[in-house]
Amino acid sequence: MVLELQKPRPVWQIMFSTHHTDVGYLYLVFGITFLFMGGVLAMIIRTHLFFPGQGVLVSDSATFNRIFTVHGLTMLFLFALPVANGIGNILVPIMVRYKDMAYPKLNAIAFWMNPVGAALLWLGFADTTWVSYAPYSIIRAPGPAADMFIFGMKILGISSILSSINFVVTIVKCKHPDLPLRRVPLFAWSMLTVSLMTIVAMPTYASALIMMLTDRLGLSGFFNPFAGGDPIAYLHLFWFTFHPEVYIFLLPAIGMMYEIIPRFSRKPLYSQASGVFAFVMLGIIGFASWGHHMYSTGMDFTTKVVFMIGTLAAVPASGMHVFNFLATMWGGRIRFAAPMKFAVGGIALFFSAGAGGVLNSAMPLDFISHGTYWVVGHMHLFLIGTIGFGFVGMIYYMFPYVTGRMYSEKWASAHFVLMFWGTVQTFFTQHLLGLEGMPRRVYDYPTEFTSWTQLNQISTIGAWMIGASFAIFLASLIYYSAKGKEANMDDPWGIGGKYYYPVAAKNPHGGHSGY
Amino acid sequence: MECTSKQQMKTLIAVSIIALVALALIPQIVHAQLAQQTSAKQYINLRAEVWNEFFRMTTAAFTVGAIVSGTMIWLVWRFRESNPKNKAPTKWEHMDDPTAGSYEEEGH
Amino acid sequence: MGHDTAEWVFVAIVIAVLCYVGVDSWIVQKAVEDVPADAEVIKVTGQQWYWSFEHADGTKEISTLHVKKGHAYKFEIYSRDVMHSFNIPDWVVFEDAVPGHTNHAWFAPDQAGTYPIQCREYCGLLHYNMRGSLVVEDDKS
Ligand code: HEM
Ligand SMILES: [Cu+2]
Ligand SMILES: [Cu+2]
């Protein structure tokens, strides 16, 4: 890695390091590995659903349920969070001009909890779904998988609280005194926002997990209706954490786009202030909408209205990000290198996802959409369309820095075209499947609805295109990090200007624009 | 150059406002007429109510979507560096770090 | 905050669209949640992995539900084990079955025929197969 390919260091030196860039690489390697593991599961799911009537590939529903559960958990907690933390670790200290993270050892500890959590999730292979609603997760989900899931999530939750504390302290307390907080680059602002949100949101879920565990052991009955508890309480605790958490998954990707778009537009950001404002707004209003996941649980009209308003209130802030991106590009001279392609593709899909989200929040439409493939399509426009595209763009952006070499623009273009087309085909189609009534989390679907079969096949072919695009990605990551042309580290894309942040990290003492 | 893009932005916004007003009104009128035709029924038609709402919302979403994606496609086409109109470097490119700080602070 | 007018106008448009969405769905939701007073109650019970029904006159059915065209029905939805979700996609009937709670949904079919019933909340092994059918019959009485 860094230049490790040019000046190799023994691997254990990186593994036992507490330096922020080393911990960052560990996070990145970990996250990218699990992106591919989760991706393999996604391919299994979609291939299986190509035909109705027991499908192909997976021979029983128990296994299938475990596969989509672990796919979801992997992508969210072992890919999205670690990659955000990895890039955050590498860039945030540089952006705030500090020598390292505030607590380097804590940083390494937070990382090393991840493999433990990952092992528990994968060895357990639970079937609870990633939301693990009570009382299924308590009275029916088979152990030890479900118990391993609880401990795995517990560990990952603690890890994310620890790393959040670290980011908050690094940014707020350790930033250079000459650098006012409002001038801190927006990627660092996104990490600050999500870290604060994690610290507020995560403990709720952490305690719900403990209650779930004691319920499973029969010691308590918090969420178990057959022991006097209430499953709805679990849903509230879960979504109080996880609606904000969806912004926690999302905002780092938005922050990465803020890093990429001005660079490749050769233009200053349209408005730093509005970016900061929109992050802070989302960070606050994100806590006002968790009930939109529970419209159909028997919620009364007034409560629904409150949560609908809370949900809609968060939309203008997301809109401001889109506006900021487009206004930044306006009047620039844009180089469409790979990072920019992925960033712009990501904005388009982010917008589609957001429009779908507004529809979701309209209460009556819940009758049509909730619990169907519509939701799967909608959330993946965020998950792969925004987070996936933002992260992949950022990985291409970091590539010259980490390897000292250049990837191939040609293969990166192929990756982009296949992935964009595939994402649209897979997940737009799933919206239609949802409108036709196909429930999500199903192992099989009836043979008599031909349109279900057709739509599923279209969606699956799209998924294969995404799969192929990631095969290209993996191959070029490996090949070009060993064999790529040497990169010009001052200006890898030849876009002019000395404003490539990562270079400062490579060369802390080599006077690049004063960083 | 600067001026025209500002102007274009303003035209775009004006067009969007008009489109959105139309968008808000037309479905209402259509809906009111449909409702009159079906008012002979004894109960409200639950599925028609919900699906009509769905179609009104998708009309809104697709209209906004057309504006946003149209703008994006135009932006990508117009401001790509390979566009002959973009031969000359922008006025920000001479700066050592054009992306530090933001638009408004650079005295735009 | 340093936004310029273009951005404020943009934000205002977004807010206007959102207000439209909010008001419209408020009106529709209010209308569809209003259960007709003469609706006949049908008790619906979800359990792993089938639906059972009990009519107001005490008749019980499993998996297949018979109703009459032109009448309004109110579903009282229960669960005997884990969460399920009672769904008749063609009639936009959808509400969760939550153990320990009683939930409601209603409809008034105006078209005879057979329609699928399904479960739309993950409930374990055979969730995918927790299907039934609704038969709407012409009212001959
Ligand atoms: C190659 C791209 C992907 C494909 C084809 C794909 C496919 C799917 C499918 C078909 C399901 C639905 C399973 C079902 O309801 O039966 C699913 C669920 C899910 N996916 Fe993906 N996925 C992809 C990428 C991602 C990414 C990048 C993320 C997150 C960052 C993600 C997160 C999730 C989550 C959270 C669920 C819900 C799991 C559950 O229902 O418990 N997926 N995926
Ligand atoms: Cu939410
Ligand atoms: Cu079910």
DSSP 3-state assignment of A388? helix
Q: Confirm whether A381 is domain-assigned.
A: yes
Token pair belonging to C121: 């909340």
How far is Cα C27 from Cα B56, in angstroms, rounded to an integer? 13
Contact A362 C48 (CB under 8 A): no
Q: Would residue A407 count as lying in a domain?
A: yes
Chain C positions in Cβ-Cβ contact with residue B20 (cut-off 8 Å): 13, 16-17
Please compute the mean of the pLDDT values over residues A309-314 and round it to a whole number.
93
CB contact under 8 A, B100 and A499: yes
Q: Which two tokens stand for residue B1?
A: 């150059």
Contact yes or no for C7 and A365 at CB 8 A: no
Residues in chain B within 8 Å Cβ distance of C10? 13
- Which structural domain, as residue segments, surrounds residue A48? 11-506
For A298, which of C11, C48, C103 is closest by C-beta distance?
A: C103
- Residues A451-473 have pLDDT tens digits of 999 999 999 999 999 999 999 99
Residue A169 CB: number of other CB atoms within 10 A? 15
Q: Is B25 on the interface with C (CB under 8 A)?
A: no
Q: Are A170 and A89 in contact (CB under 8 A)?
A: no
Please compute the mean of the pLDDT values over residues A136-146 and round it to a whole number.
91
What pLDDT score does B108 carry? 37
pLDDT of residue B2: 44
pLDDT tens readout for residues A49-85: 999 987 678 888 999 999 999 999 999 999 999 999 9
Task: Report which ligand 1 atom has the smallest distance to the Cα of A440.
Answer: 15
Ranges of chain B with pLDDT below 50: 1-3, 39-40, 101-108
Mean pLDDT of A420-433: 96
Q: What tens digit of pLDDT does each residue of A213-227 get?
A: 999 999 999 999 999
- Edge-first strand listing for the sheet containing C103-107: C60-62, C50-54, C40-47, C73-79, C103-107
What confidence score (pLDDT) does residue A513 get? 35
Of A43, A383, A423, A459, which is best to mutate to test ligand 1, by the most ligand atoms within 8 angstroms of its C-beta?
A: A383
Residue A505 in this model has a pLDDT that exceeds 80: no
Contacts of C19 in chain B (CB under 8 A): none
Residues 6 or more apart whose CB falls under 8 angstroms from that of A369 comprise A359, A360, A375, A378, A434, A435
Confidence of residue A412 (pLDDT cuts 50, 70, 90): very high
- Ligand 1 atom nearest A39 alpha carbon: 1
Chain C partners within 8 Å of B52 (Cβ):
28
Establish whether the linkage from the previous residue to A130 is cis, with ω within 30° of 0.
Answer: no
Run of H or E residues at A103: none
Nearest CA to CA, how far is A371 from chain C (Å)?
5
Q: Looking at chain C from residue 34 to 73, which residues have their Cβ under 8 Å from any Cβ of chain B? A: 34, 36, 70, 72
Q: Is A83 in the pocket of ligand 1 (CB under 6 A)?
A: no
Q: Across the strands, what pairs with C87?
A: C94, C118
Distance (Å) from CA C119 to ligand 3 centroid:
4
For a substitution probing ligand 1, which of A43, A49, A57, A68 has the most ligand atoms within 8 Å of its CB?
A: A68
Counting ligands in written order, which one lies closest to the CA of residue A49?
1
Quote the minimal CA–CA distance from C91 to chain A in Å: 10
CB A298 within 8 A of CB C19: no
CB pairs under 8 A between A and C: 160
CATH number where A215 lies: 1.20.210.10
Ligand 2: centre distance to CA A336 (Å): 33
Mutation test residue for ligand 1: of A71, A375, A438, A443, the one with most atoms within 8 Å of CB: A71
Give contacts of A 441-500 with C, CB under 8 A: 441-446
Q: What is the mean pLDDT of chain C?
A: 91
Q: Is C137 helix (H, G, I), strand (E, B) or coil?
A: strand
The per-residue pLDDT for range C30-78, each reduced to its tens digit, is 999 889 988 999 999 999 999 999 999 999 999 999 999 989 999 999 9
CB-nearest partner of B76 from A344, A352, A364? A344
Is residue A376 within 6 Å of ligand 1 at its C-beta? yes
Of the listed ligands, the closest to the CA of A58 is 1
Taking the centre of ligand 2 as the mean of its atom positions, its distance from the CA of residue A89, in whole angstroms, is 27
Q: Of all atoms in ligand 1, which is nearest to the CA of residue A130?
A: 41
* Residue A69, ligand 1, Cβ within 6 A: yes
Ligand 1 centroid to residue A46 C-alpha, Å: 10
The whole-number pLDDT of residue A491 equals 80
Q: Are strands C40-47 and C73-79 parallel, antiparallel or unpaired?
A: parallel
- How close, in Å, is residue C106 to chain A by CA atoms? 12
What is residue C139's predicted lDDT score, i.e. its pLDDT? 76
In this prediction, residue A495 carries a pLDDT of 82
Burial A471-494 (b: 16+ CB within 10 A, else e): ebbeebbeebbeebeebebeebbe
Q: What is the pLDDT of residue A239?
A: 96
Say if the ipTM goes beyond 0.85.
yes
pLDDT at A59: 82
Number of domains chain A is built from: 1
What homologous superfamily is domain C40-137 in, according to CATH?
A: Cupredoxins -  blue copper proteins (2.60.40.420)
Helices (H), A74-144: 81-95, 104-124
Q: Is A148 in the pocket of ligand 1 (CB under 6 A)?
A: no
Is the Cβ pair A332, B79 closer than 8 Å?
yes
Distance from CA of B75 to the nearest CA of C (A): 16
Q: Decide if A512 is inside a domain.
A: no
- Chain C residues close to B56, C-beta within 8 Å: 24
Whether residue A125 is contained in a domain is answered as: yes
- Calculate the CA A165 to chain-centre distance: 19
Number of helices (H), then strands (E), belonging to chain C: the values are 1, 10
Asked if C7's CB is within 8 angstroms of A323's CB, the reply is yes
CB < 8 Å to B44, chain C: 31-32, 34
Q: Tell me, using a 6 A CB cutoff, whether residue A137 lines ligand 1.
A: no
Q: How confident is the model at residue A487 (pLDDT cuts 50, 70, 90)?
A: confident
Within a domain: residue A82? yes
* pLDDT over 50 at A514, yes or no: no
pLDDT of residue A280: 95
pLDDT of residue B96: 56
Q: Taking all residues of chain A, what is their mean pLDDT, rounded to a whole number?
A: 91
What are A237-295's pLDDT values in tens digits? 999 999 999 999 999 999 999 999 988 988 888 888 899 999 999 999 999 999 999 99
Q: Which residues pair with C119 in a beta bridge?
A: C86
CA-based torsion, A217, A123, A241, A295: positive or negative: negative
pLDDT at position B44 is 86
Contact state of B5 with A330 under an 8 Å Cβ cutoff: yes
A365 touching C (Cβ < 8 Å):
yes
Cβ-based contacts of A443 with chain C (< 8 Å): 127-128
